[in-house]
C-alpha cells in the first residue's frame, strides 16, 4: 500500500513500529511508520539542548515518523490529525513492549514542495526549523538542495529534562529498582567525593600510598552494595574492576600497568583513624544541603532527633557505643550525628548534634528526655527555630499542668486512621492554649494525642494519651499538621535505625576496635541509606542487592 500511495515507498529503518488505522467495517484509511531518529539534525539538537555525548546515549528515546500516508478511503476532514493523536498516545508503550525502552519525543521531516505539515501543527508538533539540504547516499553526505521542514513533539512534559539530564532518569530505563540519580548534586566543590576529601587525614605521611578520600569513597560504595563491616569492605575493594578503580581515583601502579585497590588491612587501619566527628560533620552538611535543595520553601523543615545504641559495638568500659542523630522528616535522611559521651547521656549531645546546621525557620522534634528549658531556649533564641517536645513524668509540674487543662479548652479533634501490621490505629489530635502556670520558655500551645489500637474487626486492643508542647503558634500549624509532625518523629526508628539493624545487621556486629571505628561505619551506613532515600528508593534491602550485582552502579551513585 505504501509503495502504491507514498512517494518514498515502504522501507523503514532502525527500531520500527507500523500502524494501520481502519474504520469499523475494516476499511484501511491511514498507514503510519516509525523508526530510528536521524543521527544528526541541527534544528533538533538546538531545540533539545543536549550535548553530543547525551545525543549518542539517548537518541534511541527519540523516534522518527518516517512514513505517514492517508489512503484514498480516509480523505476526510480532520482524520489525519485524529489518527496521529491516537497513535502518539500509545506509541511509547508500544516501544517499551517491543524494543524494551520507551520514547519521549517524535520527530518528522516534511517536504515543503509536497505538504505544509498542517496535520502536525494540529497534533501539537512544534516547527523546529529546516534541514540544510544534505542526505546520506552510499555512506556519504551529499548535498541535494531540497531543505525539509523539521517538526518535533514531546510525549512527556519533562522530555527535554530527561534527555539532557546528567544521569539516565528511571523513566528512560525502568527496572525493579527505581532511582533518580539527578536528584543529587555531585558536581563541583559541593560534590560528595570532593566533600570527603575535606576530612582531615591523621595518618603519618610516611608510607601512605592510598589517599584517604579514595578509601572513604570505596567504603561508601561497598556500604551501598551491602557490606556490613570492615572485612566485607576489603573484600569488595579487592574485586573492583579497573574501570571502577579509575573512576574512584585509585592509585595507578606503572610497573604493573594497572590501578591498585587498597588492601583490606589498609582500609581497616585508615577507617579506624578517621576523625569520626569530622566525617559526620562533612557527610551531614552535604546531606543537609541536598535536603535543602529539594525542600519546598513554603513548608517548614522538620528534623527528628533520637539516639541509638550499637549493642554489639562495645567501648573499653564494656558499654555499647551510643549515637545521637538528626533526621529530616519526610525524606528519611540523616543530616547530623554525634557520639554520646560515655560519662553522660543524650541531653548533653542535643546542642552539639545540631551545630553547623542552618536551623532558621525549622522545627525540631524530640522525645521527653529533651523537654528541657535549656534546649527550648537554645532552639528559639540561639538558632531561631521551633521545637515540639513530648511531656512525660520527667517534667512532673508541666505534665500536671497540661493534664489540668479543662476539657472545654481543647480544640475539636482531628482524627486519622491507619491500617498496618494487622491492626487499626486511630489518632485523635487536639490543641489548647497553655495555662498561666506554665512557664516553659517560648511555649505557644499544648497538644494532646489520644491513640487507640484495634484489631481488624475494630475491637480495642490498647489506648493511651500523650501530651506535647510546642513553640509553633496556632496560626502557623493546625492540629492536623502537628499530628503529622508527631507521627513523623518516629520515622527515624523505622527509616534509619530499623534499616541499619536489618539490612546491615548492626546490633549483632560485635565490633571490638579502638577509636571511633563503630561511629565511622554507622556514618557510612547513614550516608548509603540517605543517598538511596534521596534518589527514590523505597525498599532499601532490595536496592542494596541490585547495587551489589554491578560494581558500576555504586560508583555512579556517588557521582564518579
- H helices of 390-509, in order, are 396-403, 479-489, 491-492, 498-503
The pLDDT-based confidence of 310 (bands split at 50, 70, 90) is confident
My answer on whether 314 and 396 are in the same domain is yes
For residue 299, is it within any domain?
Answer: yes
Residue owning grid cell 540561639: 382
Determine the pLDDT at residue 181.
59
For residue 286, is it within any domain?
Answer: no
Give CA angle at 333 (501, 427), nearest 5°: 80
Of 129, 164, 199, the one marking the end of a domain is 164
For residue 360, is it within any domain?
Answer: yes
d(CA 400, CA 398) in angstroms, rounded, equals 5
Chain mean pLDDT for the chain: 89
My answer on whether 325 and 396 are in the same domain is yes
My answer on whether 483 and 533 are in the same domain is no
For residue 237, is it within any domain?
Answer: yes
Determine the pLDDT at residue 172.
80
My answer on whether 341 and 484 are in the same domain is yes
Of 164, 189, 222, the one marking the end of a domain is 164
My answer on whether 154 and 266 are in the same domain is no
The DSSP element (H or E) to which 65 belongs, if any, is: strand 62-70
230-280 pLDDT per residue, tens: 999 999 999 999 999 999 989 999 998 999 999 999 999 999 999 999 999
Determine the pLDDT at residue 189.
46
CB contact burial 72-99 (16+ within 10 A = b; e otherwise): eebeeeebbbbbbeebbeebbeebeeee
Determine the pLDDT at residue 515.
63
For residue 492, is it within any domain?
Answer: yes
Mean pLDDT of 147-171: 89
My answer on whether 524 and 390 are in the same domain is no
Mean pLDDT of 500-517: 78
Determine the pLDDT at residue 174.
63
Print the domain residue range for 88: 2-164
Mean pLDDT of 365-390: 95
The pLDDT-based confidence of 299 (bands split at 50, 70, 90) is confident
For residue 215, is it within any domain?
Answer: yes
My answer on whether 83 and 157 are in the same domain is yes
My answer on whether 156 and 237 are in the same domain is no
Determine the pLDDT at residue 188.
46
The pLDDT-based confidence of 297 (bands split at 50, 70, 90) is low
d(CA 448, CA 428) in angstroms, rounded, equals 8
How many domains does the chain fold into? 3
d(CA 447, CA 430) in angstroms, rounded, equals 6
For residue 173, is it within any domain?
Answer: no
Instruction: Write the CATH number for 418.
Output: 3.90.350.10
My answer on whether 316 and 438 are in the same domain is yes
My answer on whether 382 and 466 are in the same domain is yes
Instruction: Write the CATH number for 15.
Output: 3.40.630.30
117-132 pLDDT per residue, tens: 899 999 999 999 998 8
Spatial contact of 452 and 416, defined as CB atoms under 8 Å apart: no
Of 130, 164, 198, the one marking the end of a domain is 164
* Cα dihedral value 469, 474, 477, 479, nearest 10: 70
Share of the chain above pLDDT 90, in %: 60
For residue 283, is it within any domain?
Answer: no
Mean pLDDT of 136-150: 78
Share of the chain above pLDDT 70, in %: 95
Spatial contact of 98 and 120, defined as CB atoms under 8 Å apart: no
- Burial class of residue 151, CB neighbours in 10 A (0-12, 13-18, 19+): buried
My answer on whether 191 and 93 are in the same domain is no
My answer on whether 538 and 502 are in the same domain is no
Amino acid at each position: 500500500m505504501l509503495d502504491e500511495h507514498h512517494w518514498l515507498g515502504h522501507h523503514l529503518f532502525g527500531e520500527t513500529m507500523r500502524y494501520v488505522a481502519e474504520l469499523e467495517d475494516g476499511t484501511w484509511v491511514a498507514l503510519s511508520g516509525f523508526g530510528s531518529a536521524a543521527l544528526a539534525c541541527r534544528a533538533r539538537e538546538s531545540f533539545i539542548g543536549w550535548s553530543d555525548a547525551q545525543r549518542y546515549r539517548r537518541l534511541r528515546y527519540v523516534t522518527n515518523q518516517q512514513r505517514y500516508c492517508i489512503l484514498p478511503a480516509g480523505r476526510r476532514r480532520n482524520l489525519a490529525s485524529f489518527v496521529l493523536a491516537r497513535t502518539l498516545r500509545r506509541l511509547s508503550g508500544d516501544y517499551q513492549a517491543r524494543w524494551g525502552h520507551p520514547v519521549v519525543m517524535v520527530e518528522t521531516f516534511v517536504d515543503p514542495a509536497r505538504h505544509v505539515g498542517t496535520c502536525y501543527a494540529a497534533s501539537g508538533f512544534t516547527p523546529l526549523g529546516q534541514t540544510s539540504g544534505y542526505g546520506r547516499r552510499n555512506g556519504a553526505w551529499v548535498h541535494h538542495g531540497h531543505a525539509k521542514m523539521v517538526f518535533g513533539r514531546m510525549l512527556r512534559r519533562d522530555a527535554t529534562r530527561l534527555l539532557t539530564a546528567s544521569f539516565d532518569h528511571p523513566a528512560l530505563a525502568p527496572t525493579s529498582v527505581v532511582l533518580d540519580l539527578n536528584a543529587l548534586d555531585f558536581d563541583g566543590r559541593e560534590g560528595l567525593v570532593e566533600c570527603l576529601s575535606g576530612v582531615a587525614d591523621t595518618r603519618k605521611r610516611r608510607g601512605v600510598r592510598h589517599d584517604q578520600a579514595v578509601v572513604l569513597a570505596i567504603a561508601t560504595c561497598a556500604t551501598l552494595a551491602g557490606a556490613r563491616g570492615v572485612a566485607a569492605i576489603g573484600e569488595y575493594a579487592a574485586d573492583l574492576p579497573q574501570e571502577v578503580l579509575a573512576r574512584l581515583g585509585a592509585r595507578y601502579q606503572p610497573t604493573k600497568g594497572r590501578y591498585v585497590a587498597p588492601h583490606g588491612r589498609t582500609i581497616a587501619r585508615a577507617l579506624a583513624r578517621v576523625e569520626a566527628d569530622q566525617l559526620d560533620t562533612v557527610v551531614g552538611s552535604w546531606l543537609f544541603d541536598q535536603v535543602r535543595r529539594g525542600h519546598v520553601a513554603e513548608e517548614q523543615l522538620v528534623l527528628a532527633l533520637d539516639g541509638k545504641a550499637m549493642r554489639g559495638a562495645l567501648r573499653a568500659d564494656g558499654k555499647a557505643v551510643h549515637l545521637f542523630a538528626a533526621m529530616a522528616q519526610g525524606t528519611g535522611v540523616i543530616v547530623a550525628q554525634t557520639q554520646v559521651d560515655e560519662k553522660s547521656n543524650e541531653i548533653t549531645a542535643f546542642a552539639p548534634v545540631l551545630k553547623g546546621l542552618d536551623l532558621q525557620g525549622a522545627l525540631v522534634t524530640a522525645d521527653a528526655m529533651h523537654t528541657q528549658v535549656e534546649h527550648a531556649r537554645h532552639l528559639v533564641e540561639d538558632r531561631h527555630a521551633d521545637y515540639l517536645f513530648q511531656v512525660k513524668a520527667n517534667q512532673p509540674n508541666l505534665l500536671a499542668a497540661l493534664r489540668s487543662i479543662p476539657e472545654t479548652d481543647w480544640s475539636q479533634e482531628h482524627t486519622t486512621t491507619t491500617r498496618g501490621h494487622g491492626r487499626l490505629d486511630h489518632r485523635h489530635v487536639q490543641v489548647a492554649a497553655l495555662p498561666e502556670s506554665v512557664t516553659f520558655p517560648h511555649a505557644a500551645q499544648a497538644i494532646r494525642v489520644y491513640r487507640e489500637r484495634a484489631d481488624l474487626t475494630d475491637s480495642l486492643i490498647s489506648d493511651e494519651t500523650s501530651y506535647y508542647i510546642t513553640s509553633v503558634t496556632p496560626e502557623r500549624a493546625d492540629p492536623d499538621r502537628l499530628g503529622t509532625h508527631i507521627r513523623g518523629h518516629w520515622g527515624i526508628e523505622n527509616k534509619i535505625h530499623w534499616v541499619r539493624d536489618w539490612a546491615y545487621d548492626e546490633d549483632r556486629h560485635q565490633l571490638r576496635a579502638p577509636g571511633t571505628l563503630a561511629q565511622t561505619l554507622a556514618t557510612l551506613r547513614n550516608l548509603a541509606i540517605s543517598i538511596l532515600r534521596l534518589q527514590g528508593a523505597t525498599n532499601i534491602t532490595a536496592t542494596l542487592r541490585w547495587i551489589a550485582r554491578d560494581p558500576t552502579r555504586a560508583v555512579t551513585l556517588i557521582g564518579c
